[in-house]
Amino acid sequence: MNELNVYPEVTPGAKHMNAVSCGLKTFQSIHARTFSIGVEALGPVNLKGRNLLTLKDFNADEIKHLLWVSADIKHRIKHEKQYLPLLQGKSIAMIFEKRSTRTRISTETGFALLGGHPCFLTSQDIHLGVNESSTDTARVLSGLCDIVLARVNSHTTLDELVKDASIPIVNGLSDQYHPIQILADFLTLQEHYGSLSGLTVSWIGDGNNVLHSFMMTAAKLGVHLRVATPKGYDPDNSILQEAKKLSKQHGTQLLLTSDPVEAARGSNVLVTDTWVSMGQEEEKKQRIKDFHGYQITMQTAKVAKPDWTFLHCLPRKQEEVDDQVFYSSRSLVFPEAENRKWTIMGVMVSLLTNYTPQIRLPRF
């Protein structure tokens, strides 16, 4: 076990606790908390025209602003039944080198709901970097659309698009980061716990792109991060070094271990992801062997805090988390999936307009 930047534990206050017993045999429902409104204020934030390749490039106030806009749009459209054509007359090019359910549906429906026009482009429609260079593609799309969301095999493709595009580029997933997933995760946790600062998130699984995005975001929101990965499946070292700096800067804990139980100990949130990502199918047999003991079960949750919850970005395989956890009242996976829509809408509105949220700033 390697513990990094250890500070005295900041235990979430009563607002993070739910008066529910988590006995070995007693398992009662935890009801989502109402959306909490805070009194904190953000500094000046203007994200119009920015790219979103990684949340490493966004400071704490900017990330909170994205979550605030997302919560506001969700409230106004879903709960108040308002019509908000904030992106009327605008179009988005959606480049997908990898298949997707949540990223495609959330972006297409969300952009259209805001009055815009989504254009879906697969590798059969646009041979990015093959029939046409990334440079030329970026320039062409800049003249035809207002924003690009690209779900790509290599993060370098995004870097190439940004270099020559004159419109915002959004990372819909790359081999290094998955920032729009993490925004949905933190909106889900804010809605459930009422605030984020002081929570402890435990990642149990592969040192992949989703973990990398957690590492670039958690400390900025005051969230402690405990990570368990099998040996040989560690997060990228350069990203780990940046996470250490962020943890020290924001006074949070960062724990790195190969023991899933140690990572889960004292945690509010248990998180995992697929063990075999797209493009790693040939490694499946070896990976399942190497990840033995990493399945999240009720046994894992015994060492977590009484108010523990579970997240998974989906799609899920049973070897990663058993049915008892996945379909329990502690599982937030389906609200998490829905929030992919509201957060991508928040991102698009923030990068394309000067929109000011109408609800008060939530408590972060």
Q: d(Cα 150, Cα 349) in Å, to the nearest integer?
A: 17
Q: d(Cα 113, Cα 108) in Å, to the nearest integer?
A: 9
Are 206 and 273 within 8 A, CB to CB? Answer: yes
Q: d(Cα 314, Cα 172) in Å, to the nearest integer?
A: 15
Q: d(Cα 250, Cα 243) in Å, to the nearest integer?
A: 10
State the DSSP code for 270.
Answer: E
Q: Tokens 């199918």, residue?
A: 281
| Residues whose CB falls within 8 Å of the CB of residue 336, separated by 6 or more in sequence, listed in order | 184, 185, 188, 311, 312, 313
Residue 184 carries which side chain, given as an amino acid letter?
A
Are 235 and 199 within 8 A, CB to CB? Answer: no
Strand pairing of 254-257 and 2-4? antiparallel
Q: Tokens 């206050």, residue?
A: 13
* 148: phi then psi, degrees, rounded to nearest 5: -125, 130
Q: d(Cα 195, Cα 197) in Å, to the nearest integer?
A: 6
Q: Name the residues annotated as catalytic.
A: 313
For residue 51, the number of C-alpha atoms closer than 13 Å in the C-beta half-sphere is 18
Provide the phi-psi class of 59: left if phi over 0, else alpha when psi is between -120 and 50, else beta.
Answer: beta
| Residues whose CB falls within 8 Å of the CB of residue 181, separated by 6 or more in sequence, listed in order | 173, 210, 213, 313, 340
Are 54 and 63 within 8 A, CB to CB? Answer: no
Q: d(Cα 311, Cα 331) in Å, to the nearest integer?
A: 6
* Alpha-carbon dihedral 164, 174, 65, 14, rounded to 10 degrees: -170
